[in-house]
Amino acid sequence: MIDPSHHPIGVFDSGLGGLTVVKEIHKLLPNEQVVYFGDTARVPYGTKSRPTIIRYSREIVRILLKHKVKMVVVACNTASSLALETLKKEFDLPILGVIDPGARKAVRLTRNKKVGIIATSSTVKSGKYVLKIRQLDRDIDVISSACPLFVPLVEEGWFDNAITTQIARQYLSNMKKHNIDTLILGCTHYPLLKNVLHDVMGPRVQLVDSASEVAIQVKELLLKFRMLRTSLRPGQHLFIVSDEPKQFSQLASRFLGGGIKHVRRHIYV
């Protein structure tokens, strides 16, 4: 019988963006194996309804369970906003979202108590980031803005070009007017645009990428449940996508800094 601590960590996102979380988990916990599911056939999630996001998320958790994952990280902010509580009630394993870690980090970092949130339309409408920030510090002024074009730009690999910069200037103009000093990247795709976002907002504004905070919470949960992998060998990750793997493999290799060997396609029936 395999020691449960040697089972993989499941991570899912609507597409490429959750690799930001995989990268931080691998950096902090290099011996852990990750099974990553990118729902590339149905990206983006940010314009879809709550019932649809819950249905998609249920389907993906069931797929990850077939790989005997010991915990699930919902690396998609939209799914974390709309489906996380349902998943926690319906599945008997640790499930972690990305909103609480990002909100906590922003509250720690802000100096003038003006925090901006950029996210998908569904995440902004859910109000989960605003609620969490105000639970932690009700004096913080929060400005939210939906940036629906950022996800397709990332999925196309347009991380840093003139069109992306022009769109970012348009989306972030209101944030600059409000003089925010901290900007939450409320979608796991957005850290891939960090260079553009930093150039547009300027060095005074701190960008909050929740991926590193999520990795820390993953370690804490694994220690709590005594499931931290003790093997001295680096974990071999498996990547599953719901559409053509070639584009994903190319962009994932570029982002993770090396070739990725194990990419499978899942076809919904």
Q: Which residues are catalytic?
A: 76, 187
Any alpha helices (H) in 8-127, and if so which ranges? 19-28, 50-65, 77-82, 84-90, 99-109, 121-126
Pairing of strands 71-74, 95-96: parallel
d(CA 151, CA 192): 10
The two tokens of residue 58 are: 């249920």
Q: Which of 202, 260, 264 is nearest to 236 (CA)?
A: 260
Exposure letters 25-54 (e unless 16+ CB within 10 A, then b): bbeebeebbbbbbbbbebbbbbebeeeebb
The answer to whether 17 and 252 are in contact (CB under 8 A) is no
The two tokens of residue 255 are: 């982002």
Q: Which of 101, 116, 103, 166 is nearest to 146 (CA)?
A: 116
